[in-house]
Structure 1
Amino acid sequence: MTTEFILLRHGETEWNAQGRLQGHLNSSLSREGLRQADALAARLATLPFQALYSSDLDRAAQTAARIAARTGHDVQQDARLRERGLGILEGLTRAEAGQRHPDVFSAYAEGHADYVVPEGESASQRLRLALHCLEDLGARHAEARVVVVTHGGVLSALLRHCLGIPPAAPRAFAVLNAGWNQFDLHAGGLRLVTWGDVSHLRALSLDDT
């Protein structure tokens, strides 16, 4: 039994453009992010799928709502698909975080899976929640294709989990806004199929030339 998951990162937010750490705080999609969400929606309108799920954070929910408006699916929100909570670092740029909370930011930047940011959570805690969510959805939608709108940190953790990349290893891959990533859940394990596909965004860059 295999469930095909199309895991999407939300469109660009105002804070993405400013380089701010978002965590559980909300930042609206930027104008570019809205265009990216609509490009995802146009691509998904040509691909049959059974269900549409989203993180309950605004940036993911906004992206999912624009997809749903095009495809006719109901959006089902699940807090287990949220970005990692970054506690006292949320809302700060990396430079500001390094200045205001140097020890915390240094420990966060080292990437250890079990480091809990004060008032936040660890990467391993967030990964466990995401994996449990996907396992539940796989049981609910066996032999189906499911679209999930989530976040860069979640996607990065899932990729590392699938490929056996240590959490503290420097990130040698991109996690793009509105990126299209396919993971298949088969025999209780996740298998990476497609990573970082942004072919649906090409028309946007052509419009800007």
Structure 2
Amino acid sequence: MTALRLYLVRHGEPVASDMFIGHADVGLSPRGLRQADAVAQALAPVPLAAIYSSDLERAAIGAARIAATGSERPAPSALLELREMNLGVLEQVSFRDGRARVPELARLGYDDLLDHRLPGAESVRDLAARVVPCVVGLVARHRRGPGESRRAPAPAVVIVAHNTVNRVVLACAAGLGPAGYTRFEQAHGSLNRVDVPDTWSATDPWAGTRIGLVNWTPEATETAALSR
């Protein structure tokens, strides 16, 4: 039995898609807004117990659109702990100029950042240290308790966050720990679902979790349907 359905959303395409963005606060491009609307429409039939996002605008926009779609939606809550990885001196530096600013990028890629910190930045493990306890706390808050009726559907919670945040949570749900973040892709405007079992325990929060959906992009589905 499922005690909670956790939907993880990556924000839509940002306005500054040609530069490094971590903690930098930017909005969504016109396409990013369409992606946010597509996710909101996909989740419209799902009764939601709570909506969370990072406190960065590009994620908060998506949470607001989910809250505005469907009936009796809860108001979104923004959490600093759910921010993307801090990129330090690379924040808002163009991809073209990144290597000039940080020469070590010539030998490093995203998959090398589990424990490596770029100048002034977080590592993926640093991000996991703030994200994972936050998500576990949200599961503990909203999951169906052992004494509650199983006749009603399990509660559903949405988190609108970022590429690395979602990858780390999916990796933990798959039993890989934060190091497994490289095994998952997250397109802009993608939707994922993690099912938390009735046997959930705070001492082993990822035991028995199941991943029901990964990196599904409603915008792409809609575009394909329109092109037929």
TM-score bracket, normalised by the shorter chain, equals 0.7 to 0.9
Who is 2:150 aligned against?
none
The letter of the residue matching 1:4 is R
* Superposition deviation, residue 107 in structure 1: 4.4
- Unmatched 5+ stretches in structure 2: 145-154
Who is 1:177 aligned against?
188
- 1:13 is paired with a residue whose SS is coil
* Superposition deviation, residue 135 in structure 1: 0.9
* Superposition deviation, residue 124 in structure 1: 0.5
Fraction of identical pairs, as percent: 31
CA–CA distance in structure 2, aligned partners of residues 109 and 138 of structure 1? 28
The alignment's C-alpha RMSD in Å is: 2.5
Who is 1:193 aligned against?
212
Who is 2:61 aligned against?
62
Residues 108, 201 of structure 1: CA spacing in aligned structure 2 closer, same or farther, 3 A cutoff? closer
Moved more, 33-42 or 172-181: 172-181
Residues 78, 105 of structure 1: CA spacing in aligned structure 2 closer, same or farther, 3 A cutoff? farther
Residues 173, 133 of structure 1: CA spacing in aligned structure 2 closer, same or farther, 3 A cutoff? closer
CA–CA distance in structure 2, aligned partners of residues 166 and 56 of structure 1? 22
- Unmatched 5+ stretches in structure 1: none
Moved more, 176-185 or 46-55: 176-185
Note if 1:203 corresponds to 2:227: no
TM (norm. structure 2) is 0.80
TM (norm. structure 1) is 0.86
The letter of the residue matching 1:149 is V
More helix by share: 1
Who is 1:34 aligned against?
33
Contact 1:37–1:63 at 8 Å: present in 2 too? yes
* Superposition deviation, residue 112 in structure 1: 3.7
Q: How does 1:161-176 map to 2 (within 5 A)?
A: 161=172, 162=174, 164=176, 167=179, 171=182, 173-176=184-187
- 2:189 is paired with a residue whose SS is coil
Question: Number of residue pairs matched?
Answer: 206
